[in-house]
Amino acid sequence: MDMASYTSGSLHAARPVVCSSSASKSKSADANKLAVDWGCDAYTPKGSKFFQEWLTSQRLPPQKLTLQPVESGGRGLVAKTNIRRGEKLLYVPFSLVITCNSEWTCSQSRLCLSAEDVPDWPFLATYLISEASKGKDSPWHPYFSALPRKPESILLWSETEVRNYLFASSIINQALERIAEVENTFASLDSSIYKKHPDLFPSQFFNAQSFKWAFGILFSRLVRLQSLNEQVALVPWADMVNHSSQVKACLDYEAASKTIILTTDKAYQPSEQVFISYGDKSKGEILLSYGFVSANADGMDSLDISLSLSRDDEMFAAKQAALEEHGLSSTCKYPITIGGIPSQLFAFSYLIACPSSLESRFSQMAAAAASKGVTRLDGFRPFTFDVPLDVDIQAYETILKTVEASLGKISRFLGENEKMNDAGMQKGNDGKLASLGLSGKLKMAYTLCVSEQRILQRAQYILRSKLRELRARKASSGEAGSGFLYGLGKLFK
């Protein structure tokens, strides 16, 4: 569908638009007080009925799914009848989809943002706040009433919560950066647009907290429609489908019906929850974007290990140049999984370990560190040329040290929380957490750390075993043995 030709449906029937909100005129309005009271706190049959009736009135066809409370994820869409594998579901009409091309109740606000070339995400966040603040005067009111008042989002964690709960996790810096990025985006829009047009963007509504609410909604619900040039969109109803790492199905635009559909990749029985995949993401990435951590271990679980060249290395400049030649910088992150450690991480570590006598190899090592695709080490070096055994040992030790530093932090975090068992958290016999009342955020951080610990312990085992071999080889036959070692077992399969 050509988005330029999109014309609004009944949802956007012409109406007189009053842009300045009455609340903005109220002298008593406290600009810093959060006026956001949009959305609902939990599933209620009444709320669900109201939402589904509105969707029907907006031409959502009869559904094989219904909105219900579910075990994890609050609410979800549940099959009403048998559903086949490969069956198409939802058929949400495009008039029900919110994109950057959607009509604004207040068209002047849109003009202001367009004049400043505001990117998609802050544009949509402003749209959400603008429409939500209109209450029943917005055609989207029934949708906003169904959205979560507090979206599960890392953005709604305080900095103290992030620092206290995620200090041992690999995602702490990303979490802090993401929060800071959204705060900075708000600050920049506030000074460049909102404050200049207080009649259109009253601070009672356009404030940091409502901006975080809007971004929380976007992070957890925005979809990228592959068949529509990756256009980002909010799709009411379709955004009630929860994630499972066991399925690959996702939402997309179907040109023939001009609707958003979900094509199942498994069969469902009545009362079973229907899932989509939010993408092949690790537990940490899911927490960062969607604000939850699944208790199940799965193949996508991974965490990033970061290595840096040392500035004290006399070959720092030459090594940095080799990395830059291959598009890398002096610090790189690589994902490790329960399946092993990527060969690129080893290549980076070998480069760190290389003495000046191996300068002619720097570029090859940097190329191996920059190579694409998931490759596990097949042998014990990520390249075929020979290097002194001491370099091998140092390269393995560098990674082991990083892995053990992360494990140390995790043990401290888990230990601290296990001490707090009496206060509220227990580890059941099956290793799953049994909650006795501690905050959901702490439980998520705990689950994430247990998962990262498992991956790191496996990496530690692999690295220690290999180092034992390397050291034994060095002790028995010195450097002459390194060539022999190359042919040894395929440790990282």
Of 134, 178, 212, 221, the one binding ligand SAM by CB under 6 A = 221
Question: Which x/- pattern over 111-150 shows residues binding ligand SAM (rule: CB under 6 A)?
Answer: -------------------------------------x--
From the list 39, 73, 122, 342, which residue makes contact with ligand SAM (rule: CB under 6 A)?
73
CA distances from 385 to 203, 320, 398, 470, 492 (A): 63, 21, 20, 17, 19
**Cβ-based nearer residue to ligand SAM, 238 or 377:** 238
Question: Is-contact 224 231, C-beta < 8 A?
Answer: yes
CB 221 to ligand SAM: min, Å? 4
Enumerate residues 152-171 that contact ligand SAM by CB under 6 A: 152
Residue range at the interface with ligand SAM (CB under 6 A); choices 19-27, 56-64, 236-244, 338-346: 236-244
Nearest to ligand SAM of 292, 380 (CB atom)? 292
Does 75 participate in binding ligand SAM (rule CB under 6 A)? yes
Residue 292 or 362: the one with the smaller Cβ distance to ligand SAM is 292
Q: Count residues near ligand SAM (CB under 6 A).
A: 18
Query: Is 242 near ligand SAM (CB under 6 A)?
Result: yes
Q: Is 243 one of the binding residues for ligand SAM (CB under 6 A)?
A: yes
The distance in angstroms from the start CA to the end CA of the chain is 45
Considering only the stretches 52-60, 242-250, 392-400, 403-411, report the one whose residues sit in contact with ligand SAM under the rule CB under 6 A.
242-250
In the bound state with ligand SAM, the residue whose beta carbon lies nearer, of 221 and 474, is: 221
Minimum Å distance from CB 220 to ligand SAM?
3
In whole angstroms, the minimum distance from the beta carbon of 90 to ligand SAM comes to 13
Q: How far is the CB of 105 from ligand SAM (least distance, A)?
A: 23
- Subset of 417-476 contacting ligand SAM (CB under 6 A): none
Short-list 76, 477, 132, CA closest to 276: 76
Q: Which of 74, 93, 198, 355 binds ligand SAM (CB under 6 A)?
A: 74
Residue 318 Cβ vs ligand SAM, minimum distance, rounded to whole Å? 46
CA 385 – CA 175 distance, rounded (Å): 40
Minimum CB–partner distance for residue 235 and ligand SAM (Å): 9
Question: What is the Cα–Cα distance from 228 to 251, expressed in whole angstroms?
Answer: 12
Span of 4-12, 71-79, 299-307, 435-443 interacting with ligand SAM by CB under 6 A? 71-79
Q: Is 360 left (phi over 0), alpha (psi -120 to 50) or beta?
A: alpha
Q: Which stretch binds ligand SAM (CB under 6 A): 16-24, 67-75, 227-235, 433-441?
A: 67-75
Nearer to ligand SAM, 41 or 386 (CB): 41
Q: Which of the residues 251 through 310 are near ligand SAM (CB under 6 A)?
A: 290-292, 294
Our finding on whether 220 is near ligand SAM (CB under 6 A) is yes
- Where along the sequence are the contacts to ligand SAM (CB under 6 A)? 72-76, 148, 152, 220-221, 239-240, 242-244, 290-292, 294
